[in-house]
Structure 1
Amino acid sequence: MREALCRCPEWLSDIWAKSPAPGETEGQSLCAHTWEVLARLRDLASLRPWLPELCGFPRLWNVLFWAAFFHDWGKAARGFQDMLKRKGKWPHRHEVLSLLFLEWILAAGEADEVAAVILSHHRDADELERLYPPGLSPEDDPLSEILNELEEATLQKLYRWLAEICPVWVKELGFDKLGVSYSLPISFNEAVAGKQSGPDTVRRLLSRYSRLVRGFREGTDPSRALAGILLRGLMLQADHAASAFTGVIAGLAGFRQKVLTGARLSLEKLYFHQKKAAEAPECAVLVAPTGSGKTEAALLWAARQAETRHGLPRLFYVLPYQASMNAMYDRLTEIFTGQVGLLHSRSLLALYRRFMEREENPAEAAGKARRERNLARLRFYPVSIFSPYQMLKGVYRLKGYEAILADYAGAAFIFDEIHAYEPGRLAMILETIGYLRKNFGSRFFIMSATLPRPVRLRVQEVLGDAQSIIASPDLFHAFSRHQINLLEGELLEKGSLEQIVSVYRKGGAVLVTCNTVKRAQEAYRCLKGKIPEERLVLLHGRFNGRDRLEKEGRIMEAVAVGKKQRNPAVVVATQVVEVSLNIDLDVLFTDPAPLEALVQRFGRVNRKRRVALAPVNVFVAPARGEGVYSSELVEKSLNILEKNANGRAVDESLVQTWLDEIYTGEVLNRWENGYEQVAGEFRRAFLDTLRPFDSDDALEEAFARLFDGVEVLPAVLWEEYRALREQRPLEASQLLVPISWGWWEKIRKAGLVRSRPGEWPPVVDVPYSPEMGLEPGKA
């Protein structure tokens, strides 16, 4: 704020843009806020000076400069200033009044475009049309009323600002080099006289804005949609960043050296696939064994992108699960200190825990966590970690979607474990990737230990001429570290459980993986009493944040990768263990699952090749997929393993061939039909109709149902929650348990929701314990 004030004269300080902050008597001046917005816009332009070329709109920065300069001038109205000084309310929209000033300096055509950006920086077109409908008689038109609130003394200050200070700002902020032109064609007397025709001027610009939005909705001018998205998106980002006092929005300097130093890499000792990634010019697809440095390969690819013509304005690391996102945040923060954002539904809590671990007091930890989370939401950090569902918010047209999409222009995306999504969701993700690559110049690096053939083909389709990188045969052979044993019967049988206990008693660290939470809970109950309590851990997705963190800590303490002092332990888990914790156990016992899921489970055992071969035991029953997987996929995977690997070492180089053999015939047809149906519907409903100035609040709940799920509070924790809520609300939020919309509907229909509709949090009469987690089946 001090930076802004030094560029604003005293005679402008009495026109405010913001109310006083708590404990202060003076609000932020309109001049100071405008400078901050323009400074942040300058930052965004520095990251992507080539955007006019991308969207075919040469005057992009000129329109954005004037929109940012004038966007809040309507706040100079007497009623708005009184409201900021807590002297009542103001029933009008300041952005509408801001339009009056555009003709002071802009030609008619350019004024239309600037007006569209100004009008849309807070509200969508439909709402403005309801507030200021066309066809009103002059005596009923609210525009006449608000224009009368602009006093001549105020107009004189605003005119002097435009005439004397604005041209200095254009040069000082470097906008003259971006094509921003300045000339003042109107005198002050003409400006004051123009107030009389002000309602007509504003009404004309409102009408043209409505016509522009209708044109986008009707698809009459799709070629301008990209420019419109960028105009509104960049304006929103600059305005929000300025209001939050983020400071300079910067990129990453010295990216390659940061990666080499932070990841402790030597160019001479890179694997073949890492060298290839470091040379890939644009999009690339990598298949390499788990534990073979795929993350390092991806970062080297990103370093290569930073050296291209468009540079690396932003890097996004995309992962499927919150636990893996949190772990990657820790890892990348070591490389890019202070430049990494974490964004998922519980990222605030994850950040709070990290500050608490540094022995900060709760209030300071909460404040810092909120600040970091808010900066991540404002797209401030040059590196961000999130799930693909955050990315889909842009094409779902949720509020502020243009700012999300604008931040993806020219960005680099690293997608880890793309196989983890079922065909329908994968279709939406890949269609969005293709859209961003084609329209926004985004670049993608997609990697996995396993890529089934249909997934591989769809990835190549959306990425065009992406480079395919496969680890060398020698590396696959070197990473052969598992011996597969197919076991008769099923995991929950008495004899199976005795085998698990036997391995533990011989000093082994055992991973037991079940396909459902219910089966994992049952396996844990059966093992309880046979394994000491301190050596037995249950982990699944229906624990609250506090209990899950405690369990993950116990697991990492016992079997983290690289841990020298290892202790015997038994970890019973669901699929959450596949791509989350960086752990290394001795033996696996698992439910049957599709081969790509099994390979991920194998990767949690003998991860760093401590021994030549470690046993991974796969039960052959139940092969019906348990409602989680396709029965056909499970059965074909078991057949492949029986034919090629039972009792033998896994040849990692053959896994891809086995996958291609599984995805044939009816399995392939069903997969492709499911994928194509969703891909086509998603493309027609969202991508083909994506346009600016048109968010859709009705899609908020639909999006939440599909991707976000629900957080509930078990009734048994209500008293503890209530006690914590007043003093430590973030710690109180740790007691909430995430469940899917499907489970929420079952609980609601069973009459197990204790709280009233709309009350937060929803309290449910479902058994919960720190040991077992939520147990809907016992309600």
Structure 2
Amino acid sequence: MGNVYAKIYFDKNKAVPETLEEHTENLLRELERIREIYGEDLKNSGVNEDFWNALKIACLFHDLGKVSSHFQRKIRKYLNETARIPRALNKEIPHNYLSGIFLYAPEIKRTIPKGYFDYVLFSVLFHHNRNLDFSPEYFRKVIELDIKNKIYDLNWLKKYGFSISSVLTDKAGILYKKLQNYYFNSSNKVKNIKRNRIFILLKGILHRLDYSASAHLPVEEGKICNLEEKLISYLSKKSNFRDLKPFQKKAKDLRNKSVLLTASTGVGKTEFAINWIGGDKAFYTLPVRVSVNAMYDRLISVFKGEQEKIGLLHSDALFYGMGKSEEIEDSLSIEEHIVRTQAARQFSMAITVTTADQLFTAVFKYPGYERIYATLMYSKIVLDEPQSYSPDTLAVIIKGLQEIAIYGGKFCFMSATIHPFINEYLKDYAEELEPVFNPEKKHKIKLEDRSIEELLSEIVSQFNRGKKVLVITNTVRKAQELFKRLSENKDVNVKLLHSLFIQKDRIEKEKQIKIPDKPIVWISTQLVEASLDIDYDVLFTEISSLDSIIQRMGRVYRKQGRVINEDSEPNVVIATQEPSDKGKIYNKEIVNFTLEALREFNCQILTDDKKQDLMMSVYDIRKISNTSFYKKFTENMELLDAGFEADTKRDAQKLFREILNVNVIPKKVYDENFDEIQKAIEIVLDKTRNHLERLRAIYNVNKFTLSMPIYKLKQVIPTQIVSGKFGKEILTVDFDYDSELGLDTSTEPNFGEII
């Protein structure tokens, strides 16, 4: 046959082949890389020389099924070459299933370390997820008439000390039975193998080696050296920095442990987490993309000189910074940004800043999840600001942390508002640290038994006194209503930020809210609770759950040195009546407990240690055990404990995110920018254009989109404007849009609860 091809790449629209030997060499090179960088760390997960030998064999044999005539013909047609297929074979069998037969050759089987044969076999057979839709008779026939005759195309294995003298056709039946048992999870032995730490590690690393070799990217970047020194060097540039705080220094002594940290907003949790990471591989997770982007920028600044080891990972990471390429690091071109984003998707970076869904969907054990769990076995996870997650999502995260800790990974779970019941679920897996509170008096609260609309005159009064005023509502619609009413007063400088702005406008508003003119009124939603580093003079907010209220408080008097005294007027005003979400976003029972607890501090200073006391009271398990909030959490925990799994990664993503979002362009925006959008779509679909041009074009379309829950579109008929070949679905919706107000959904009552 000549060369046996493994891959086809396209360079300037021309097919470029990669042989099976070349692809395998790339895997082995990456195997040596991961062993060199993290070999010592992996010893803690039970890795020994037998493991590395078994993994090498898995790398060598994982793609040998590509000698299949069907596979070769599929590849060769791009090269204007042909491959003859035996006449009786009319259907292709996935190459990964065929690769397994070579492991049964006696001279190969005896080289596999004792106890590792099934680990290697199943890792090879299922390094892709393919349908098992062929009979055992046909499987044997393909091996007999095709694969058996191709061993001479594999002579290159000799340079690695392996030689296949024959293919044992009579083992096809045994192999097919193994395929069935694993595919259908139909034997206890297979079930035990699937949960075995060494198997998960071996299969997971094989996945990563294969992905990295295929993408021609390193499976791992080097570690960050002298991390603590770099952190102190960065902090020392701040005028008020003297030294790390005692709790931040203690992080160094806790690097070999998982930890639970309750610490006030602004006291330096991030610096604690960085010092806790040390020189280890880590994933820093936050709930929303805007806060992930901000943390990524922050870590890039901390580790200047080694910023190529910091990764950004979320669904729009590739486009972050593309609209302002001159702001990307001086040494980083757009092309390098693309490569780094791809490397982050391979989990290659020393520290990756990411949304939680990129990791914790693996809890649902979809095919190929081992890639994530294997990586986390020798990594650390920082869970920052977890209060933003729903009870369903929290259950998935808690279950994931428990399993990862059992497998050898470590985590730091930290927030200003950790629910007491979370500590109960994690206390056996982590050390609970003494809370760290800001001793400064920051917030004096006032409960107003009125709706937020009825406080508009007070809001205007604060503005007229030269204050920077922040107003937070529970829904977009309420935020828009307040904005419209305040805008009627031409003397009031009022601005609005929520989730229903197109990306171009939202990015600009997120910049503006951080550096407000004074005086000003900014109206927003939950969006600003944890995602934006802002510091305002006074807060007006609708009542919500206590953890949410505390996070909202953290947006006023945030900076060190800003304090309040007993004679000061309240700087946090809470409207207790008629919250706009009507209990659909914040659990009514929890909100009632919150209001009951806060009444004790009405018109008083609420210090950070008292806030934690309130958290312990409101979220006491005995109190919340019958609430729908806690029941939902425990039901999901029980489901996961029972071994619930998702069939596909897409299903797992839907389960984690709960709500499937779609990208939409408001019809008004689409009409006004029709030529620019259509030109960009044409470029994306034109395969003669280079990769960078097409990515820029996708970015140019995306900047006119906003993300919307798909179930909210039930009452409207959206119009699809791009074909499936675009790579993602984009719709237009016939709602009015204004760059100051956002998407106006006032004509559709079902949109009221978007936050």
3-state SS in 2 of match to 1:150: helix
CA apart distance, 1:162: 2.9
Indicate the residue corresponding to 1:179 in structure 2: none
Q: Is the 8 A contact 1:509 1:585 kept in 2?
A: yes
Q: Which residue of 1 aligns with 2:687?
A: none
- Report the residue type matching 1:106 in the other structure: I
Shift of 1:555: 1.4
2:688 corresponds to:
none
Instruction: Find the counterpart in structure 2 of residue 117 from structure 1.
Output: 123
Partner of 1:735: 704
2:432 pairs, out of 452, 462, 467, with 467
Please name the residue that 1:775 is paired with.
Answer: 744
RMSD after superposition: 3.3
* Change beyond 3 A, Cα 1:631–1:162: closer
Give the secondary structure class of the aligned counterpart of 1:547: helix
Partner of 1:489: 450
- Name the CA shift for 1:431/1:756 in 2 (closer, same or farther; >3 Å): same
Q: Is the 8 A contact 1:284 1:469 kept in 2?
A: no
The answer for the alignment partner of 2:600 in structure 1 is: 643
Q: Note the C-alpha offset of 1:324.
A: 0.8
Question: Which residue of 285, 294, 305 corresponds with 1:327?
Answer: 294
- Indicate conservation of the 8 Å contact 2:65/2:99, yes or no: yes
Map 1:372-771; keep pairs closer than 5 Å.
372-438=340-406, 440-461=407-428, 463=429, 465-471=430-436, 476-478=438-440, 480-493=441-454, 496-530=455-489, 535-558=493-516, 567-613=518-564, 615-622=571-578, 626=582, 627-644=584-601, 646-664=602-620, 666-670=623-627, 671-686=629-644, 696=648, 699=651, 702-703=654-655, 706=658, 708-719=660-671, 720=673, 721-727=677-683, 728-740=697-709, 744-748=710-714, 750-755=715-720, 760-771=729-740
2:694: which partner in 1?
none
Q: 1:21: how far off?
A: 3.6
The TM-score normalised by the length of structure 1 is 0.81
TM-score (normalizing by structure 2): 0.83
In 2 relative to 1, CA 147–672 (structure 1 residues): closer, same or farther, beyond 3 Å? Answer: closer
1:144 alignment counterpart: 144
Are 2:42 and 1:61 aligned?
no
- CA-to-partner distance for each residue in 1:396-423, whole Å, 9 max, x for gaps? 2345312111111121111111222233
Are the aligned partners of 2:396 and 2:636 in contact in 1 as well (CA < 8 Å)?
Answer: yes
Alpha-carbon separation, structure 2, partners of 1:407 and 1:401 = 10
1:29-108 map, 5 Å = 29-46=19-36, 47-49=38-40, 51=42, 54=45, 59-76=50-67, 80-81=71-72, 83-84=75-76, 85-87=79-81, 91-99=92-100, 101-102=102-103, 103=105, 105-107=107-109
**Aligned residue runs from structure 1 range 172-251, under 5 A:** 191=164, 194=166, 198-213=168-183, 218=188, 221-222=191-192, 225-226=195-196, 227-247=198-218, 249-251=220-222
Distance 1:536 1:651 in 2: 30
Task: Report what 1:563 is aligned to.
Answer: none
Name the structure 1 match of 2:689: none
Q: Deviations over 1:462-488 (max 9, x none)?
A: x2x5132311xxx5322x122222234
Task: Give the Å deviation of 1:532.
Answer: 5.7
SS in structure 2 at match of 1:122: coil
Secondary structure of 2:382 counterpart: strand
Can you list the C-alpha shifts for 1:141-195, whole angstroms capped at 9, x where unaligned? 233332366385x3xxx33x333x225xxxxxxxxxxxxxxxx6x6xxxx55x25
Q: 1:289 — aligned with what? A: 264
Amino acid at match of 1:69: L
1:172 corresponds in structure 2 to none
Paired-residue identity, %: 26
- Cα deviations across residues 563-597 of structure 1 (Å, max 9, x unaligned)? xxx63221100011110111111111111122221
Q: Residue 44 of structure 1 contacts residue 234 of structure 1 at CA under 8 Å; is this kept in 2? A: no
Of 602-611 and 427-436, more deviation after overlay is shown by 602-611
For 1:516-560, what per-residue CA distance to the aligned partner results, in whole angstroms no more than 9, with x for missing partners?
111101111111132568x422111122211110111221232xx
Q: Relative to 1, partners in 2 of residues 1:19 and 1:223: Cα closer, same or farther, differing over 3 Å? A: closer
2:314 pairs, out of 344, 352, 359, with: 344
Q: Which residue of 2 aligns with 1:17?
A: 6
Residues 273 and 93 of structure 1, relative CA distance in 2, 3 Å threshold:
same
State whether residues 201 and 374 of structure 2, in contact with CA within 8 Å, keep that contact through their aligned partners in structure 1.
yes
Task: Give 1:259's aligned residue.
Answer: 231
| Alpha-carbon shift at residue 230 of structure 1 (Å) | 2.0
Report what 1:7 is aligned to.
Answer: none
Distance 1:149 1:247 in 2: 35
Letter of the structure 1 residue corresponding to residue 221 of structure 2: A
Shift of 1:510: 0.8
Q: Secondary structure at the match of 1:537?
A: strand
Rounded Cα–Cα distance in structure 2 between residues aligned with 1:556 and 1:136: 65
Closer/same/farther in 2, CA of residues 683 and 234 from structure 1, 3 Å limit: same
Deviation of 1:704 after TM superposition, in Å, equals 6.9
1:656-710: CA deviation from partner (whole Å, max 9, x where unpaired): 1122233356545324433222211122143xx6xxxx95368357437615533
**1-structure distance, mates of 2:277, 2:237:** 15
**Mapped partners of 1:206, 1:604: distance in 2:** 60
State the alpha-carbon separation in 2 of the partners of residues 348 and 460 from structure 1.
37
**Partners in 1 of 2:145 and 2:562 — Cα distance?**
81
| In 2: Cα distance, 1:484 partner to 1:596 partner | 15
Aligned-residue offset at 1:104: 6.8
Give the SS at the match of 2:636. Answer: helix
In the aligned structure 1, how far is the partner of 2:464 from the partner of 2:498?
A: 24
**Contact 1:249-1:380 at 8 Å conserved across structures:** yes
Task: Verify the 8 A CA contact 2:475 2:580 in the aligned structure 1.
Answer: no
> What does the per-residue CA deviation read over 1:374-410, in whole Å, with 9 as the maximum and x for residues that have no partner?
2221111121122222222212234531211111112
Which moved further from structure 2: 261-270 or 243-252?
Answer: 261-270
Deviation of 1:315 after TM superposition, in Å, equals 0.3
Q: Which position in structure 2 is the counterpart of 1:301?
A: 276
Give 1:53 shift: 6.5
Q: Is the 8 A contact 1:273 1:470 kept in 2?
A: no
Gaps of 5+ in 1: 1-11, 168-183, 307-311, 559-565
- Where structure 2 has 5 or more consecutive residues not aligned to the other structure, the ranges are 86-91, 565-569, 684-696, 749-755
1-side partners of 2:139 and 2:262: how far apart?
Answer: 68
State the distance in 2 between where 1:137 and 1:302 align.
49
C-alpha displacement at 1:739, in angstroms?
Answer: 1.9
**Residues of 2 paired with 1:622 and 1:200: CA distance?**
74
CA distance in 1, matches of 2:484, 2:626: 40
> Take 1:662 and 1:112, find their aligned partners in 2: how far apart are those partners?
51
Say if 2:666 and 2:737, in contact at 8 Å, map to a contact too. yes
Paired with 1:121 and 1:404, the residues of 2 have a C-alpha distance of: 14
Quote how far apart the aligned CAs of 1:72 are: 2.7
- TM-superposed deviation, 1:490: 2.0
Give the whole-Å Cα distance in 2 for the aligned partners of 1:588 and 1:352.
34
Amino acid at match of 2:246: F
Residues matched between the structures, number = 693
For residues 184 and 39 of structure 2, the distance between their equivalents in structure 1, rounded to whole angstroms, comes to 29
Residues 701 and 765 of structure 1: is their aligned pair in 2 closer, same or farther, counting only changes over 3 Å? farther
Q: CA deviation at 1:265?
A: 8.9
- 1-side partners of 2:529 and 2:542: how far apart? 13
